[in-house]
Amino acid sequence: EVQLLESGGRLIQPGGSLRLSCVGSGFTFRKYVMSWVRQAPGKALEWVAGISDSGHDTYYAASVQGRFTISRDNAKNTLYLQMNSLRGEDTAIYFCAKEDLPVAPSTIGLGFDYWGQGTLVTVSS
């Protein structure tokens, strides 16, 4: 059974830093593209960042470019999101998600077939 388990979310002051983790199990983690998606309270889904299976290629939403860093440790089956210079508008539930590709390597995907349960990040003084 595929499982994704996020952790690391908490209350943090504006300007602070936080690292989220997502551990994958039940699939060959190193073979899949991964992403972080967030959802502010009562709002729509927002894609945040993505990373290739090897970790060599990373992609970011404009809203987090330069502040957030996505990375992965395939030996530990773990995806990370380092979040710096946090702002109130970063308050959200953060989900990690797994994506399959029709052909690799490619930036074309088949959507997120599995999601974690999410971890809540609250940025407030």
Partner 1 sequence: DIQMTQSPSSVSASVGDRVTITCRASQGISGWLAWYQQKPGKAPKSLIYAASTLQSGVPSRFSGSGSETNFSLTISSLQSEDFATYYCQQTLTYPRTFGGGTKVVIK
Name every residue whose Cβ is closer than 8 Å to that of residue 63 and which is 6 or more positions away in sequence.
46, 48, 89
Which of 23, 61 has the CB closer to partner 1? 61
Q: Note whether 8 binds partner 1 by CB under 8 A.
A: no
Q: Note whether 23 binds partner 1 by CB under 8 A.
A: no
Among 5, 40, 77, 115, which residue interacts with partner 1 (rule: CB under 8 A)?
115
Among 1, 13, 44, 56, which residue interacts with partner 1 (rule: CB under 8 A)?
44
The amino acid sitting at 28 is T
Among 75, 102, 103, 125, which residue interacts with partner 1 (rule: CB under 8 A)?
102
Q: Note whether 27 binds partner 1 by CB under 8 A.
A: no
- Taking 3-state DSSP, the helix, strand and coil percentages for the chain, each rounded to the nearest 5, stand at 5, 50, 45
> 91-104 burial, b for 16+ CB within 10 Å, e for fewer?
bbbbbbbbbebeee
**Rounded to the nearest whole angstrom, what is the least distance from the CB of residue 68 to partner 1 in the complex?**
13
Q: Note whether 75 binds partner 1 by CB under 8 A.
A: no
Query: CA 77 to CA 122: how far, in whole Å?
Result: 26
Among 112, 119, 121, 123, which residue interacts with partner 1 (rule: CB under 8 A)?
112
Of 39, 19, 11, the closest CA to residue 84 belongs to 19
- Site residues (vs partner 1, CB under 8 A): 35, 37, 44-47, 50, 59-62, 95, 99, 102, 107-118
